[in-house]
Chain A
């Protein structure tokens, strides 16, 4: 049996089940076990990809390019596996952190719809289908971000919604133009046509629409405004989920489109990408150090780190792409983890503002360890995952002669470090500003809250120690992207 569709079938089933079963406890356990199932299935698919190469499935049995083709190559499966890990962790974490909101059932419905859209976007090989999955993802993220309907959430939600809406409208317009010019929607066929045709440069106008659309999703400069405006408003579970996954879909599609078929006028694109990457990194990183709210610091960081991923694409050598992908994978894990930890900080201290908290290292040494792993991973401390990602990117940048942007990347590392140390110093080391006399009842973190963070921390560490195999996979992915002939061949002709 062809299992390519599993990453969308599992969340679909789970979503439907969540609609029918309304018992709270049931939703939770269904959530966790379903995510585990998803995780296992991605592992299985990963094995399949390493064994057989690119996997395809023509939905409905309609041959490509007429039907919708689902394609899993190395890039897709890497994204799938990592996001499944994050989803699994979040579903555990959600159990205790959603206690306050009464909307468990709706949370899980939207949660699985989000995953459905996400996984769909990762595996689809059809441009319009990608749009549909984007919309699925978008609408569920709208629902999630406004879950709770506080004033802050609503105003954050409106900005999130309107800017993303503009993004998807531009995306749709781009698809229309692309289809108008090429008469096809299948990515492989598009690649085949556009790579051979000299006049394909005319497509750059519609490529711009895609670029802006994905740029908005990925939150690159100057399109990122929605992110810092909204990510600190919802429940921390939801923020963690978004932080780990959503912007990365934008990066993923950008990598996909700009390696597969928008490869005309490369110098222009690469200069544009690299310039924006440098600006994104620097502006995100330097805005982060100005913040005092943990979630805002981390939100600006997301932007800064998107810059690195885009930089990998802009370098456009196999090594650069591999570095960008490596960075994406590492960042998904570490970023989610920092948000999870900030949730626990909030639980212990009841506040996200660095000026109002402190002394956590004494109060909960375990939490300190849990924080320091992803924080150091983000700052690029060896031998954690972030170091290798940055190292590969810097190496690729220098070797390809992009000195300036690489220097920015290096310097931004320092800004990252600064803001991580800021959190560390203020929240953990500093004496707690609370009045010690009215010691509250000690709030303890439960196993379910800590477990996801431990898991993600171990993965960060593992991705560093076993960097060689992770690098091997990302290199495979990069090679597949640089030489799409195999992709085209597999999708269009080997059925």
Chain B
């Protein structure tokens, strides 16, 4: 299995180096590669009945539980087949569809890699590995939705989808890590084996919620569903792929995958169905009022995802069975319908249902295809969709928990779905013929071949459902439920509750449909009603929130990075003072042993001179006096050094002080006079700050003298200076021998400073 992913990676990279004659046909080639992978998984079906799984383990970073595990079992097999199968059809389709666009190379690169990432996702047996593929699909879909990137809407939609899915992805990652820390592994099999520990842990509920946020964002569940309609900004093949077999199905997959490990609890059977049922209703409700083909389909996808999530959340044998079947059904009809929509767009030039109509005359084959797909979507016989709907009803009836609500809303949503489906096909192919600029025709099988294959399959499985039931669905359900389950599917169940419920739904659906087509104004009113009830759209809410946040941070960053040099300094000084004072209090730094003495008096006097010179220098009115006072301080300090036996230091201090004063005086001639720039309140505040800082420095300096952990290392220098370094001046020996590296650094600082000074002052630039 890893080899297949490698093939995907290599062939996607190979797109960039194809010779010209292959390059023109690269979608065909990529479709064939997908087909090959499909055949591989198809041939594998007989080997993975029931709970049997094939795993491949590659150690990656085992220390942090990150390994490559590939699992092929019933569940991943269904998904892999859908991804590769529909993938190959999508590529064949886009050979026709994408003709005439420039820069298709990156497009195919992303699309193919997208398929590969999705395949990697469903084959992952390690949750972190799964997350990696999960994020890859998010980012690749971002790049795909951005195909028409010069349109602002496309950029906006791409960004929304990315932001929402990455938000979910990060939340998913947190959830995985949180729960993974309980069992010390991210391997799904380990999680399943330790399901009891996980469910008993404190981390279970927060972890589950985080994971569910991930699932809900990816699978477009309420309230994160709004990115999905935007994603139709992508070229149609992408939408077709994204809605049917990839991306949005990732969440469903993960939910199914984790249900043995996390499922069955109160939280699981209540949160998930609730989200599912709301999403289902929203999807079908808004589908009706859309005017574009793609938006209609997008909302029906939301509906389908709601159904899938609901079914997995109900978490019974029957509901899982229904979910797996519906997964396949939905993939088939949704891929078909998107391809049809794209085809109509290409042939007629619009996807607005109000500008479409009467296409039956021109596109009979397409009509049949669409009709069959739509029947499947509406859940009408003889299509596979019918079977699915029956099963879903059965599962809903038998569901524990919030069954009544689920059933009621389920019927309502199905009524809407039937109406939408019929409306869809009616508006395009029947209805009023519209004047088209160019006469559409059926030329070129490239457009309808893929959809045809899918509807034929859908019909075939609808008539002979047991073929599907006893193989794929059965092993997937067995995998999820962790027990061997026999699945028998048949089209006709007899006259039971479910049948009558279906009949009821169909009648209502047809009634609604007729109402819609007979009363044009009804729909318009409905739309108006929606607009007034749902004042804000979630997309706009999202945009406004983002914008509000950006504005907030703009103001905030202005406030923080305000540009006033002295307030930066003030902040730093205050921060330091607070930290140090805090530590002084904590460590009881007030107990000092040092005694205050004024002896010898001349040093005391010297200090008094320095302090008064300092005060003078601060408050001096002219610059030159200020600087002279500064000199007094410097020379005074050098005398202190001298008193404590630091001759070299003292000389150096004097010379350095002299140079600084001289330099200062040199430039001072050109610098302006002191201006009175600060108010007295500012001055007072600054004095307080300065005193806070100065006093704490005094305090800790005294502390430092008090504490001595061990004898200083200096004795070594005195002992060895003569013997080993042949110098009597220990300070100098330290400078040039013991710690010569410091001196070297010091000299380099000086040299660079000198270069810098000459550079600054010589450069003639400036005055800009």
Q: A-side interface residues toward B, CB under 8 Å?
A: 15, 59-60, 62, 65-68, 103, 106, 109-110, 113, 116-117, 120, 128-129, 132-133, 135-136, 139-140, 142-143, 146-152, 154, 158-159, 162-163, 166, 170, 173, 176-177, 179-186, 189, 193-194, 197, 199-202, 204-209, 211-212, 216, 222-223, 225-226, 228-229, 265, 268, 283, 286-287, 289-291, 300, 319, 359, 361-362, 365, 376, 381-383, 387-388, 391-392, 394-395, 398-399, 406-407, 410-411, 413-414, 417-418, 421, 425, 429-431, 467-468, 471-472, 475
Name the A residues within 8 Å of B615 (CB-CB): none
Q: How far is the CA of A165 from the CA of B166 in the complex (A)?
A: 41
Pairwise interchain contact A205-B584, C-beta atoms closer than 8 A: yes
Name the B residues within 8 Å of A421 (CB-CB): 159, 162-163
B494 in the interface, Cβ–Cβ < 8 Å? no
The contact of A206 among B167, B700, B714, B767, by CB within 8 Å, is: B700
Name the B residues within 8 Å of A394 (CB-CB): 173-174, 177
If over half of B's interface residues share one DSSP class (helix, strand or loop), that class is named, otherwise mixed; here it is: helix
Pairwise interchain contact B711-A430, C-beta atoms closer than 8 A: no
B14 in the interface, Cβ–Cβ < 8 Å? no
Name the A residues within 8 Å of B599 (CB-CB): none
Give the Cβ gap from B731 to chain A, nearest Cβ, in Å.
14
The contact of A414 among B170, B704, B746, by CB within 8 Å, is: B170
Select from chain B the residue with minimum beta-carbon distance to A140: B752
Pairwise interchain contact A468-B60, C-beta atoms closer than 8 A: yes
Select from chain B the residue with minimum beta-carbon distance to A145: B756
Name the B residues within 8 Å of A166 (CB-CB): 569, 572-573
Name the B residues within 8 Å of A467 (CB-CB): 60-61
Select from chain B the residue with minimum beta-carbon distance to A180: B704
Name the A residues within 8 Å of B741 (CB-CB): 59-60, 68, 129, 132
Pairwise interchain contact B710-A205, C-beta atoms closer than 8 A: no
Q: How far is the CA of A225 from the CA of B561 in the complex (A)?
A: 6
Pairwise interchain contact B765-A150, C-beta atoms closer than 8 A: yes
Give the Cβ gap from A325 to chain B, nearest Cβ, in Å.
14
The contact of A181 among B136, B708, B767, B768, by CB within 8 Å, is: B708
Stretch at the interface among B27-35, B359-367, B399-407, B549-557: B549-557
Pairwise interchain contact B713-A209, C-beta atoms closer than 8 A: no
Name the B residues within 8 Å of A471 (CB-CB): 61, 63-64
Give the Cβ gap from B547 to chain A, nearest Cβ, in Å.
11
B545 in the interface, Cβ–Cβ < 8 Å? no
Top 7 nearest A-B pairs (CB, nearest first) are A183-B712, A132-B745, A287-B557, A180-B704, A143-B756, A290-B554, A429-B149
Pairwise interchain contact A430-B739, C-beta atoms closer than 8 A: no
B717 in the interface, Cβ–Cβ < 8 Å? yes
Residue-wise interface mask of B (572-602) relative to A, using a CB-CB cutoff of 8 A (1 in contact, 0 not):
1101100110011011010000000000000
Select from chain B the residue with minimum beta-carbon distance to A114: B752
Pairwise interchain contact A383-B132, C-beta atoms closer than 8 A: yes
Name the B residues within 8 Å of A65 (CB-CB): 713
Q: How far is the CA of A287 from the CA of B561 in the complex (A)?
A: 9
Q: What bracket does the count of chain B residues touching chain A fall in?
A: 35 or more
Q: How far is the CA of A404 from the CA of B568 in the complex (A)?
A: 28
Contacts A177-B700, A177-B704, A183-B710: A110 and B565 contacting too (C-beta < 8 A)? no
Contacts A60-B740, A143-B755: A229 and B563 contacting too (C-beta < 8 A)? yes
Give the Cβ gap from B475 to chain A, nearest Cβ, in Å.
30
The contact of A205 among B563, B583, B745, B751, by CB within 8 Å, is: B583
The contact of B748 among A62, A116, A184, A291, by CB within 8 Å, is: A116
Pairwise interchain contact A361-B149, C-beta atoms closer than 8 A: yes
**With A67-B738, A289-B553, A391-B128 already in contact, 8 other A-B pairs whose C-beta atoms are closer than 8 Å:** A136-B752, A139-B756, A182-B710, A226-B568, A229-B561, A429-B146, A429-B149, A467-B61
Select from chain B the residue with minimum beta-carbon distance to A151: B768
Select from chain A the residue with minimum beta-carbon distance to B580: A208
Q: How far is the CA of A391 from the CA of B705 in the complex (A)?
A: 46
Select from chain A the residue with minimum beta-carbon distance to B743: A132
The contact of B162 among A194, A395, A413, A417, by CB within 8 Å, is: A417
B334 in the interface, Cβ–Cβ < 8 Å? no
Give the Cβ gap from A168 to chain B, nearest Cβ, in Å.
11
Q: How far is the CA of A371 from the CA of B333 in the complex (A)?
A: 39
Residue-wise interface mask of B (682-704) relative to A, using a CB-CB cutoff of 8 A (1 in contact, 0 not):
00000000000000010011011
Contacts A151-B766, A163-B569, A300-B557: A431 and B150 contacting too (C-beta < 8 A)? yes
Pairwise interchain contact B64-A395, C-beta atoms closer than 8 A: yes
Pairwise interchain contact A136-B745, C-beta atoms closer than 8 A: yes
Pairwise interchain contact B64-A392, C-beta atoms closer than 8 A: yes
Q: How far is the CA of A391 from the CA of B63 in the complex (A)?
A: 13
Contacts A394-B174, A414-B170, A429-B146: A182 and B709 contacting too (C-beta < 8 A)? yes
Name the A residues within 8 Å of B740 (CB-CB): 59-60
Q: How far is the CA of A163 from the CA of B713 in the complex (A)?
A: 33
Give the Cβ gap from B755 to chain A, nearest Cβ, in Å.
6
Contacts A68-B739, A116-B748, A163-B568: A290 and B753 contacting too (C-beta < 8 A)? no
Give the Cβ gap from A413 to chain B, nearest Cβ, in Å.
6
Residue-wise interface mask of B (445-458) relative to A, using a CB-CB cutoff of 8 A (1 in contact, 0 not):
00000000000000
Pairwise interchain contact A66-B738, C-beta atoms closer than 8 A: yes
**Which of A186, A226, A421 gathers most chain B CB within 10 Å?**
A421
Give the Cβ gap from A394 to chain B, nearest Cβ, in Å.
6
Contacts A103-B759, A109-B755, A202-B589: A376 and B163 contacting too (C-beta < 8 A)? no
Pairwise interchain contact B709-A181, C-beta atoms closer than 8 A: yes
Pairwise interchain contact A286-B587, C-beta atoms closer than 8 A: no
Give the Cβ gap from A127 to chain B, nearest Cβ, in Å.
11
Q: How far is the CA of A302 from the CA of B739 in the complex (A)?
A: 35
Q: How far is the CA of A471 from the CA of B64 in the complex (A)?
A: 9
Name the B residues within 8 Å of A425 (CB-CB): 149, 155, 159
Contacts A129-B741, A132-B745, A410-B174: A286 and B556 contacting too (C-beta < 8 A)? yes
Contacts A109-B755, A148-B765, A398-B177: A290 and B139 contacting too (C-beta < 8 A)? no
* 14 A-B pairs in the complex with CB atoms less than 8 angstroms apart: A129-B745, A139-B749, A158-B565, A205-B584, A205-B589, A225-B560, A268-B586, A283-B557, A291-B557, A395-B64, A429-B150, A430-B149, A471-B61, A471-B63
Name the A residues within 8 Å of B709 (CB-CB): 181-183, 193-194, 197, 200
Select from chain A the residue with minimum beta-carbon distance to B557: A287
Select from chain B the residue with minimum beta-carbon distance to A287: B557
B484 in the interface, Cβ–Cβ < 8 Å? no
Name the B residues within 8 Å of A120 (CB-CB): 745
Select from chain B the residue with minimum beta-carbon distance to A362: B103
B267 in the interface, Cβ–Cβ < 8 Å? no
Q: How far is the CA of A361 from the CA of B103 in the complex (A)?
A: 11
Name the A residues within 8 Å of B162 (CB-CB): 417, 421
Pairwise interchain contact B557-A173, C-beta atoms closer than 8 A: no
Select from chain A the residue with minimum beta-carbon distance to B155: A425
Name the B residues within 8 Å of A147 (CB-CB): 759
